[in-house]
Amino acid sequence: MNVLVTGATCPLGAAIIERLIADRNVGRVLAVGREPGQSWTDPRVTYRMANLTRTREVHDLIHGDARALAIDTVIHAAQHRGANDGGHYIHAQNVESARALIHACTDHPTIRRFVARSFAEVYVQPQSTTSLIDEEAALDFDPAAPQWLRDRVEADLTIASHGGSLPTAVLRCAELIAPDSGSQLWDYLSSRVCLRPAGYDPIINVLSLEDASVAFVFAARSEATGVFNIAGADTLPLSRAILESNRLDIPVPGMLMAPLYRLRHALAGFEFRYDLNVRRFHFGGVLDGTRARRELGYVPQTHVHWPRPWWRVLFERLSEARS
Amino acid sequence: MSTTVGFHDEGYGYDVFGLHPPTLDRIIHTCAPIYDHYFRVSSEGIEHVPTEGPAILVANHGGVLPMDAAMLCFDVLRRLDPPRIPRAIADHFVPRLPIVSTLFARCGVVSGTHTNAARLLERGELLAIWPEGVSGPAKKFRDRYRIQAWRVGFAELAIRHRAPVVPVAIVGAEESWPLAKKLHLRWFDSPYLPIPAWPLPLPAHYRLRYGPAMDLARGHVAADADDPVLVHDAAARVRDKLEQMLDDLRRIRRGVFR
């Protein structure tokens, strides 16, 4: 198996590449990213810098380097991470790049499979504190939704509804809890004080980087096509997630949450946006990973590494150094 | 009492629907006097409830707030040996209510979506369903113990997952706390705001009767659950049985409070 991985410089892309390298059945890995000068020690990995918003670069990448390396599987993990960015360029990064990529891969002489990353956020959040979300659940087509969400839904549908002959798997992943991954929850839990809507303590499910990379490698190996929910190993109430991160949990009336977090964003510039999370912070909803387990063989096993306060990280590192 | 039998811990002491056995244990302990001394719940036929494997309790519904549902769940937890946690299926609006939603979830209540119910049965859990839905508590006092709109989803689930159905007649709830008026305010997407006839429930004697388990899947395969005629017929059989049990229970009781 020769694999092309986009988003190679983001935490998920890098983790996927590391896992592919560890697999002896993988021949070549073509890592694609936007930053120059990336390198891997393993000689099987070739790094190419490419701007996926440019159709010509995508075409040249797929019909040039990918063909030369006999790439047979493409894992599209690239996605713009900033929740507060918007505009045409961000749309091109999130949606048009996916469209150009799958178009270029269709009827390609060597590419036989396309695996794309999507997000649990594309589903309409169930207005219930106790709900499993399967792959048949409704998607959020709210035209008033922020671009961050609309882009994700459009990119998901662009790939999932692709009518070509290329076998495609779309992995709708639970929220990744890792730094620099664009995770809203990571940013939320990185704050010393976490405000929570009073009267609600929804169950959330989160995904570790390790499990996410395993899911992508399993999907690349599998022949199953369609949409798959990728749930994580951690299912817990929001209050417990705050506790696990050693943060102060303060329930406040729901109507105060948005202005307080807007104020925080204005003053401190954090990525967390309450308007993107308002339904989830009231009603939760957990991805039902039955199909992924049955068809991909993916079972979440690795717990997330919760954000820690600096003193705890220091303490843990000192303990490790001493031992 | 241990409420951890059959509990599917997701790693933090909660299951995927938010059930938290220690919270449930505390609530059972706190509310025991209501069950034992206030409503003086008596039940018969608990042996009909399967002690393992998927099963569905189907009961009538009445009273301004779901006290009957709470007493049924309480009864199963108290009297079934070994105890099983009944997963009460709530109408869609219930898990949206502040505080109530979290409290109910910690006690095992689940939102009434098809996926939720199907996954619970696949895990071999015991569901408790009130097919009348909101129409049960919303009925007038003169219609008490008359089954209202009868949803048939439980029959489809029973056939598809080969889960026996145990009809449960509950008598006492409708006189204890009847509805006086419905205010159509639609707070938190609830269909109405109930105004009870009196501020607290009266200490009516609750009587529960569990009927023999009905195998709706007998002679059928899972795909037959897609046949609407079959499903409606199966649901009607359960309804007829429940109506008969309700009539019997009301006939033998000596009074609402005795």
Residue-wise pLDDT for A239-265, tens only, equals: 999 999 999 999 999 889 989 998 888
- A236 contacts chain B (CB < 8 A): yes
Q: Are residues A129 and B105, on separate chains, in Cβ contact within 8 Å?
A: yes
Whether chain A has a CB inside 8 Å of the CB on B2: the answer is no
CA-CA distance, B154 to B234, in Å (whole number)? 10
pLDDT at A153: 95
d(CA A164, nearest CA chain B) in Å: 31
Distances (CA, A) of A109 to A48, A114, B235: 20, 14, 56
Distance between CA atoms of residues A219 and A88, nearest Å: 31
- Give yes or no for A126 touching B (CB within 8 A): yes
Residue A154 pLDDT: 95
DSSP A35: S
Which chain B residues are closer than 8 Å to A198 by Cβ? 98
The residue behind tokens 């990379």 is: A213
Neighbours of B9 (CB within 10 A): 14
* Residue A37: count of CB within 10 angstroms of its CB: 8
Task: Read off the pLDDT of residues B105-138 as tens digits, 9 standing for 90 and up.
Answer: 999 999 988 889 999 999 999 999 999 988 888 8
Contacts of A278 in chain B (CB under 8 A): none
Locate A72 and state its tokens: 């047979």
B147-157: average pLDDT: 94
Q: Tell me the pLDDT tens digit for each residue of A291-309.
A: 999 999 999 999 999 987 7
Chain A partners within 8 Å of B105 (Cβ): 129-130, 203
Instruction: Report A:247-286 residues touching B (Cβ under 8 A).
Output: 282-284, 286
Measure in Å the smallest separation between the Cα of A284 and chain B Cα atoms. Answer: 10
Instruction: State percent of chain B over pLDDT 70.
Output: 98
Model pLDDT, residue A127: 61
Write out chain A residues lying below 8 Å of B117, CB-based. none
A237 contact B CB<8A: yes
Chain B residue with minimum CA distance to A304: B11
pLDDT at B1 over 60: no
For A283, the enclosing helix (H) or strand (E) is: helix A274-283
| CA A101 from centre of chain | 18
Closest partner CB to A199 (pick from B92, B99, B104): B99
Asked if B18 lies within 8 A of A127 by C-beta distance, the reply is no
Does any CB of chain B come closer than 8 Å to the CB of residue A295? no
Contacts of B176 (CB under 8 A, 6+ apart): B39, B63, B67, B201, B202, B203, B204, B206, B256
Mean pLDDT lowest among A31-35, A74-78, A84-88, B202-206 = A84-88
Which of A127, A198, A237 lies at the smallest CB-CB distance from B96?
A: A127
Spell out the long-range contacts of A84-88 with Cβ–Cβ below 8 A and sequence spacing 24 or more. Answer: A84/A265, A84/A271, A84/A273, A86/A146, A86/A147, A86/A148, A87/A147
B113 CB near a chain A CB, below 8 Å? yes
pLDDT band at A126 (very low <50, low <70, confident <90, very high): low
The whole-angstrom separation of Cα B207 and Cα B171 is: 5
- For position A96, what pLDDT does the model report? 94
Whether the CB of A240 is below 8 Å from some CB of chain B: the reply is: yes
Q: Answer whether A239 touches B (CB < 8 Å).
A: no
B11 contact residues in A (CB cutoff 8 A): 233-236, 303
What's the rounded mean pLDDT across residues A95-99?
94
The partner residue sitting opposite B14, judged by closest CB among A132, A133, A203, is: A203
Closest Cβ opposite residue A132 in set B14, B102, B115:
B115
Signed CA dihedral, B168, B169, B175, B179: sign only: positive
pLDDT at residue A37 tops 70: no
Cα end-to-end distance, chain B, whole Å: 28
| Whole-structure pTM value | 0.88
DSSP calls for B72-109 = HHHHHHHHSSS----EEEEPTTGGGSTTHHHHHHHTT-
Residues of chain B with C-beta less than 8 angstroms from the C-beta of A134: 115
Q: For the ranges B75-79, B93-97, B144-148, which has the lowest average pLDDT?
A: B93-97
Look at A240 and B12 and tell me if their CB atoms are within 8 Å.
Answer: yes
* ipTM summary value: 0.86
Residue A176 φ then ψ, to 5°: -80, 125
- Specify the range with the lowest mean pLDDT, choosing from A286-290, B21-25, B39-43, B93-97: B93-97
Of the listed ranges A187-191, A206-210, B1-5, B73-77, the one predicted with least confidence: B1-5
pLDDT of residue A130: 58
Q: Find, in chain A, the residue whose alpha carbon is nearest to that of B19.
A: A130
Interface test with A, best of B97, B99, B113, B122 (most A CBs within 10 A): B113
Q: Chain B residue with minimal CA distance to A205?
A: B16
Instruction: Check if B109 contacts A (Cβ < 8 Å).
Output: yes
* Cβ contacts from A onto B, under 8 A: 88
Buried/exposed code over A38-54 (b: 16+ C-beta within 10 A; e: otherwise): bebeeebbebbbbebbe
Sort out which chain B residues have CB atoms less than 8 A from A306's CB and list them.
Answer: none
Q: Are A113 and A167 in contact (CB under 8 A)?
A: yes
Q: What is the mean pLDDT of chain A?
A: 91
Q: Of B102, B110, B116, which has the smallest distance from its Cβ to A201's Cβ?
A: B102
Burial class (CB in 10 A: 0-12, 13-18, 19+), B82: exposed
* Record: contact A130-B18, CB cut-off 8 A: yes
Question: How many Å apart are CA A321 and CA A315, to the nearest integer?
Answer: 10
Distance CA B16, CA A130 (A): 8
Alpha carbons A141 and A124: distance in angstroms, whole number: 8
Instruction: Please state, in angstroms and as integers, the Cα–Cα distance from residue A127 to each residue in A201, A219, B66, following that order.
Output: 13, 30, 21
> With contacts defined as CB-CB under 8 Å, which chain B residues touch A290?
119
